[in-house]
Amino acid sequence: AQSVTQLGSHVSVSEGALVLLRCNYSSSVPPYLFWYVQYPNQGLQLLLKYTSAATLVKGINGFEAEFKKSETSFHLTKPSAHMSDAAEYFCAVSVLGNTGNQFYFGTGTSLTVIP
Amino acid sequence: DAGVTQSPTHLIKTRGQHVTLRCSPISGHKSVSWYQQVLGQGPQFIFQYYEKEERGRGNFPDRFSARQFPNYSSELNVNALLLGDSALYLCASSYWTGDTEAFFGQGTRLTVV
């Protein structure tokens, strides 16, 4: 079975500080991993994805994530937070099965950036 | 290029009513998936359609149904609405069912009163 756990439903950082959003996954097969961002009243925007190539994945807006198989983790980081980073962030695992590709999402982490 | 478009953006329905939500995938994409996002939760998979056939179904009651048309657009139908059906309904499109990436629309915010 596949699942995603996001540690910390709310994270607050000061502007310019490091952003670290945690994600652990459970998958019975090699996973594809994703981070999505959701701004208020909007859909999901892809930040980055891991598809079994490089373990350190760079995404948009300065975000990156590192796939650690031994820890079953895919934490999202950004060296310096910006006010515009305030949003809801979702980690997701995608697994190809007999019925196609299905995403399993975590419960989300709300990021607040303090000026 | 147009992304995934969903309509309507918002709607309010009364308990027991029926609702139809619509989705147009990105041009060239043949697979459409539907997700329900209840406030404060991550999206939950409802259906995946490819080439007009249902290819996957999540753990939702039979009140939920969907279909895909020859132009690859899709409708999600919900009968006998319950208060608990209030959510953001997201449509995602991908080129085919084995595509590892999906592009999401802005969603339809359904409120059941």
pLDDT tens, N- to C-terminus, chain B (113 residues): 579 999 999 999 999 999 999 999 999 999 999 999 999 899 999 999 998 999 889 999 999 999 999 999 999 999 999 999 999 999 999 987 677 788 999 999 999 99
CA distance A68 to chain B (A): 19
| pLDDT tier, A28 (very low <50, low <70, confident <90, very high otherwise) | confident
What is the sign, positive or negative, of the torsion defined by CA atoms of B97, B99, B105, B108? positive
Q: For A62-89, how does the pLDDT look when each residue is reduced to its tens digit (9 = 90+)?
A: 999 999 989 999 999 999 999 999 999 9
Arithmetic mean of pLDDT over chain A: 91
Ramachandran region, residue B84 (left: φ > 0; alpha: ψ -120 to 50; beta: rest) = alpha
Residues of A whose CB is below 8 A from B48: 99-102
Interfacial B residues in 6-25 facing A (CB < 8 Å): 6
Distance of alpha carbon A63 from alpha carbon A28, whole angstroms: 27
pLDDT recorded at residue A43? 87
Q: Which among B40, B90, B100 has CB closest to A43?
A: B90
Smallest CA-to-CA distance from A23 within A33, A12, A13, A37 is with A33
Residues of A whose CB is below 8 A from B50: 100
User: Do A101 and B45 make contact, defined as CB atoms within 8 angstroms?
Assistant: no
